[in-house]
Amino acid sequence: MAAMEPFVVHAVDPNIEVRIVREMPPLPPTLDAHVEAIWARVAARVDAAGVGPLFNGRVFSIETISLDRITGHLTEYRRLVAQSEDHGLFEELGIRSLAACGVLRCADGVVIGRRPEGTFYQPGMWQLCPAGSVDGGARRPDDTMDFRAQLLTEIHEELGLGGETFGEITPLCLVEHPGSHVTDLGMAVTTSLDAKAVLEAHSRHGNNEYDPLRIVPIPELPAFISWAGKTLVPPATEFLARAGLLP
């Protein structure tokens, strides 16, 4: 069995810019048909699991990364899904989708959730909340991508939090996953809300992205990481360390 490709960590400047530099390239008909077949199969599987239908929107795909600038284009979500299912398609599709991932610290600890078993990506795994693809809605008129606004959108949709005061959103680093090439932009953010308020908002207004949702006190993070083991997404410890939350 071949050795697993390692995660790649990219340092970023806190003021990093994400910019669209070209439009989505077309696919050859044969490749497009293959992508569509995978998309249909995965969409049916996710729908049958009851975790919500997949939507073929537009997500940002990275082309270049430097300390202070990320460039790329918007691509179809179905292309990302196909490549995530068949990693060999990376040679033809070349998608490195950008995800906004929060290290959300409330008054009582860090917000961590477990993804449903039937979800398409990382089923059953624990991850820092919120997290989601940087999509076309984050595109500004000047073709930069407002990834901080995307993170706030994910906070609202996944956790049910809206209108609360959040602290400054600070990029920490990029972590590129092996195989799928999904690239997580970790960002530290704080709220003055306590654990009870966060959990109540999630219960009343959040979507079904996490079950359960937990608030882990900072001194208990090493024990949680040890307990979760391989069910914790690997970038989590990198983001927590860079946010200064691990000893």
Cβ atoms 46, 118 nearer than 8 A = yes
Tokens encoding 49:
């699991």
DSSP for 22-51 reads SPPPP--HHHHHHHHHHHHHHHHHHHHHTS
pTM of the model: 0.94
Tell me: the pLDDT tens digits for 214-226? 999 999 999 999 9
Tokens encoding 235:
């970038």
Cβ atoms 110, 215 nearer than 8 A = yes
Tell me: the pLDDT tens digits for 94-118? 999 999 999 999 999 999 999 988 7
Domains of the chain: 8-240 (3.90.79.10)
Q: What is the pLDDT of residue 51?
A: 79
What pairing do the DSSP bridges indicate for beta strands 58-65 and 98-106?
unpaired
Cβ atoms 154, 132 nearer than 8 A = yes
